[in-house]
Chain A
Amino acid sequence: MELTGAQILLESLRREDVEVVFGFPGGAVIDIYDQLPNYPLKHVLARHEQGAIHAADGYARASGRVGVCLVTSGPGATNAVTGIATAYMDSVPVVIVTGQVPTPLIGNDAFQEVDIVGITRPCTKHNYLVKDVRDLARVIKEAFYLAATGRPGPVLIDLPKDVQQAKCEYKYPKTIKMRSYNPTYAPNLKQVARVADVVRKAKKPIIYAGGGVIASGASEDLIWLARTYDIPVTATLMALGCFPADDPLWLGMLGMHGTYAANLAISHADLILAIGSRFDDRVTGKLSEFAKNAKIVHIDIDPTSIQKNVAVHIPVVADCKSFLAALRQSLAAAPAGAAAEDTPPAAGRHASWLERIDAWKAEKPLTYAADSKVIKPQHVIEVISRLTKGQAVITTEVGQNQMWAAQFYQFTRPRSFISSGGLGTMGFGFPAAIGAQMACPDRLVIDVAGDGSIQMCIQELATAVCYDLPVKIVILNNGYLGMVRQWQELFYAKNYCATCLDVAPDFVKLAEAYGAAGYRLTDPSQVESVLAEAFALPKTVIVDVVIDREENVAPMVPAGKSITEMILV
């Protein structure tokens, strides 16, 4: 059967079981939109391409499926670039389809032409310019495969208008054959045996979990390992939720805004099991001071992550889930010639190490000065955590709001914390919440925002209202670009240059103008009741929480310092 390029695209999306496409039309994709009503795909019309791509990203992170984004050529495509880079940095599987000017016009500076394949080459896992409609079905199959396998990431397909209109016989490939792409899932068993050996012998081990644990669905295996071998767990921002926050082995996040206990524990550990994490500079602080006395085991599906920042003693290239399964087997088998003391019963085997960690936890817990007159942002997050019993999907913007959410919300399950970690994209959280709500219609989705970040994609209020998405936006409003202000306060002699947002919209009226509901909170005693009311409302809601203007995120490790050098208050 002959189909047009536009039909081939939509039919292929259907075969990839795509439920929802986040997009924004334009001249260069009008042929695709013309066919869209004929296919069983839900289209979510964003109000800006950045909103569309972040929503596709949020959908992917919340569901574990591939997010799909459709935008037009030129400005439509460039508006999506920030979102593509965001997904790339956090390894999120997204397929982006961009319209392109007709092939004879490519390179002629045609109307709305831009070399998006060139622009996105450094921020996509791979990208394609499809010049022949006969390549299209194969390219789409490859794009979905590339996006979701190995280290996941965004894949872009640039589709010229004449290719969308051209016809050819449609045949969707059943299998993929790419001689140049073969990600390693199963670990080398000799390496696994070496890991099992050091795990048995470690006196002060720690698990440092990263986003790979969530991406590979390895949370259960990780919890098993930690509990069976009595190993405390810390995690990166990307991995929050991979280990339950109410478990005594949980240390909280590590790094620049990590807990005192996590940063000290990783600095004093004799064994670091880095699982699906990449030793980002926000985690390690000053590299030369990082975990100087520890043996480092690094498991990552992406070989480039290993040995990139720190010297690793046992590198393992593997999918985290496959690795943990193999490690479990290897640990179960008694080592050849092992003395009895090498395999003591697991429970309590690191009692003295955990005692020391508990002392650190007790000494400097995450805390803040409660106040009866001014609302403290940490208090707001604690209330959200309590009201939702750790079961909500929390998205965040970027800055102080993000760090308070990461520190004070008690995550209990994976894919519940959705935040721009690698790129730190302001404006991410709200559209991501829209995508997450599409993926999880039955879960409460809350965007923890700052008054600065929320203004970067505020137009998506129309999208949320249009699709009856009951997303809650909690704005921690301090009238500042708070995190930059915090840096200015601490490291730039309080020169608050360009960080004060005195002129801001009335967010309650703004919510109402878009057809959403709005609340304003100024009294600490009302935080709980107003949030409970807002969360119960089955519609899009903004809660504008006026917080202590100069509250800071603590602990904080100054950039370039060792992670043991924390500013604690």
Chain B
Amino acid sequence: MRHILSILVENEPGVLSRVAGLFSGRGYNIETLNVAPTLADGLSMMTITTEGDEAIIEQIVKQLRKLVTTVKVVDLTDVKSVEREMMLLRVDAEGAKRAEVLRIVDIFRCKVVDVSLDELILEVTGTQDKLGALINLLQRYGIKEIARTGAVAMRRGMQE
């Protein structure tokens, strides 16, 4: 099962490789990884999505907590949370295709962030599913390149 882990770490050199090394060294897989500073001084937030059964995820969480530079680990899969990912796509948009692509841009609430004679660059945010659906749709027009951030996530305010 896919899990989203939110990991608060000390913002110091080598932290990313400690976390990434923990995954590779123990044979776990990182699907996406995202890291940036938080409001708190000297702390960064990592969002990692990974796959595994309950026992593996339990080990991953415990091993992450064991790292001296880790302040907090939350498995957001267990709580109600918001998940978003941003993606840039370079899409073929020659001639008649362009209008169709632009219609899809509207429906998916994408932004056109670059225009040239035969292609567009689109910016889109959403869940993994939405991004997947968009890729599926646009593939028939020709996607030349994509760049994705990986998921960021946050627990919702109103929890039962």
Contacts and interface: CB of A to CB of B under 8 A. Distances in A.
Interface of A: 117-118, 121-122, 125-126, 129, 146, 178-181, 302-304, 307-308
A132 to B, nearest CB: 12
Contacts of A117: 14
Contacts of A129: 13-14
A178 B68 CA distance: 9
Contacts of B18: 121
A303 B66 contact: yes
Contact of B68 (A181, A302, A304, A308): A181
Contacts of A307: 55, 58-59
Given A121-B17, A129-B14, A304 B66 contact: yes
B21 interface: yes
A125 B17 contact: no
B32 interface: no
Interface of B: 9-10, 13-14, 17-18, 21, 25, 55, 58-59, 62-63, 65-71
A450 to B, nearest CB: 31
B21 A180 contact: no
A126 B17 contact: no
A433 B80 CA distance: 56
Nearest to A311: B55
Contacts, number: 37
Contact of A126 (B21, B63, B68): B68
Contact of A118 (B9, B17, B55): B17
Contacts of B21: 121-122
Contact of A122 (B10, B25, B59): B25
Contacts of B68: 125-126, 146, 178, 180-181
A312 to B, nearest CB: 11
B54 to A, nearest CB: 10
Contacts of A146: 68
A302 B65 CA distance: 10
Contacts of B63: 304
Contact of A121 (B10, B14, B70): B14
A118 B17 CA distance: 8
A178 B67 CA distance: 12
Contact of B66 (A121, A122, A178, A302): A302
B135 to A, nearest CB: 36
A304 B59 contact: yes
Contacts of B66: 302-304
A180 B62 contact: no
Given A129-B13, A178-B68, 7 more contacts: A125-B68, A126-B68, A146-B68, A179-B71, A180-B67, A180-B68, A308-B59
A391 B71 CA distance: 44
Given A118-B17, A307-B55, A180 B25 contact: no
A180 B14 contact: no
A180 B13 contact: no
A122 B65 CA distance: 15
Contacts of A125: 68
Contacts of A303: 62, 65-66
